[in-house]
Amino acid sequence: MKRIPLDWPNRQHSSTVSVGGLDWHVQLTGKGPVVLLLHGTGSSTHSWSDLIPLLEAHAQVLVPDLPGHAFTLGAKLEDLTLDEIANSLQLLIEQLGIEAPSIVVGHSAGAPLALRFAVGSPKPPKLVIALNPSFIPPPAVYTSFFGPLLGPITRSSTLSSLLASLSPSLGMVDKLLDSTNTILPETRRVYYRKLFERSEHVRGSMNFMAAADIHKVLVEANLYRGKLICVLGNQDAWIPVKPLEKIILDYFPAAEIVKWEGGHIMHELEPNKVAQLILEGLKTEFGD
């Protein structure tokens, strides 16, 4: 727990769990059906910090730092594919001794991961909520930020360490955040800056993005039999709504599509709206 900053959001719910070669940082709170929250590339548990208190009276909320990210340590390059992370999540849930998730919520790259997890789960979730899902390739702004560091060279820590050291002075993280068309307040930006000062986080984020096999998720879309709700931000500059909507209609024709005003990280500014979606899902399944 020493590696978790004392001012990290919801730190009182944090613990570290070692299983399958990974040393996870997880936040777990509440009682009831399990809701699993999966952040996107470059993020962490903090992305859900305002949502967790809205859910914990109604559900047991499990929020991990994904392998390669933030304070979850020990991930090797081969551990960062969607299939491997989905398998690792199953091991984590078994180690924690909690029920299989009833609802899985994934933001951005966390959305295809949510579907891989659902397909491979012995007891699949009844509902997957995909917030601005990255079902299309990463945006140019993201690849221009990470692009030179992707590929075999990411096996070395040299460039990721350099990027982490330069990030604060060049304002790189703030430029990246602004490019999402979500104008986060300073109180939320500070956590992203802290993360990107960690070379392990930078390297893990790059490798996670490089390893994500989105095509496999799409061609195997019919393997998930539960309900899928896709929430799209009309102002998302990273994953434009029109091409994303076409992908969803082509590969997930039964999905419910909801459109909100907002950019790529809009869920951080709209925790009440996300909570409402989740609580409606719980009510439908459990009559709570």
Rounded CA gap, 276 and 157, in Å? Answer: 41
Rounded CA gap, 123 and 101, in Å? Answer: 8
Euclidean distance between the first and final Cα of the chain, in Å?
34
pLDDT digits (tens, 9 = 90+) for 227-286: 999 999 999 989 999 999 999 999 999 999 999 999 999 999 999 999 999 999 999 877
pLDDT digits (tens, 9 = 90+) for 160-179: 454 555 455 457 788 888 98
* DSSP 8-state symbol, 263: -
Rounded CA gap, 201 and 206, in Å? Answer: 9
Q: Is 57 helix (H, G, I), strand (E, B) or coil?
A: coil
Cβ atoms of 33 and 20 within 8 Å: the answer is: no
Cβ atoms of 128 and 228 within 8 Å: the answer is: yes
- The pLDDT of residue 57 is above 70: yes
**What was the pLDDT predicted at 142?**
53
Cβ atoms of 128 and 229 within 8 Å: the answer is: yes
Cβ atoms of 66 and 197 within 8 Å: the answer is: no
- Rounded to an integer, the average pLDDT of 48-53 is 98
**What was the pLDDT predicted at 206?**
84
Q: Is 63 helix (H, G, I), strand (E, B) or coil?
A: strand
**What was the pLDDT predicted at 261?**
97
> What is the chain's Cα-based Rg?
17
Least reliable range by pLDDT among 74-78, 122-126, 153-157, 281-285 = 153-157
- The pLDDT of residue 287 is above 80: no
Q: For residue 246, what are its two tokens?
A: 């076409």
Q: How many CA atoms lie within 13 A of 141 on its CB side?
A: 16
Q: For residue 86, what are its two tokens?
A: 């989905």
The hierarchical CATH code for the domain 30-286 is 3.40.50.1820
> Please, what is the average pLDDT of the chain?
89
Rounded CA gap, 82 and 264, in Å? Answer: 21
Q: Is 95 helix (H, G, I), strand (E, B) or coil?
A: helix
Least reliable range by pLDDT among 10-19, 87-96, 238-247 = 238-247
**What was the pLDDT predicted at 157?**
53
pLDDT digits (tens, 9 = 90+) for 129-155: 999 999 987 655 555 555 544 444 444
Tell me the residue length of the chain: 288
- Rounded to an integer, the average pLDDT of 51-73 is 98
- Rounded to an integer, the average pLDDT of 59-81 is 96
pTM of the shown model: 0.92
**What was the pLDDT predicted at 212?**
87
Least reliable range by pLDDT among 76-85, 147-156, 174-183 = 147-156
**What was the pLDDT predicted at 152?**
45
**What was the pLDDT predicted at 161?**
52
Cβ atoms of 213 and 220 within 8 Å: the answer is: no
Give the closest residue to 236 by CA, choosing from 163, 130, 148: 130
C-alpha distances (whole Å) from 86 to each of 51, 67, 146, 167 are 23, 10, 24, 30
Residue % of the chain over a pLDDT of 90: 75
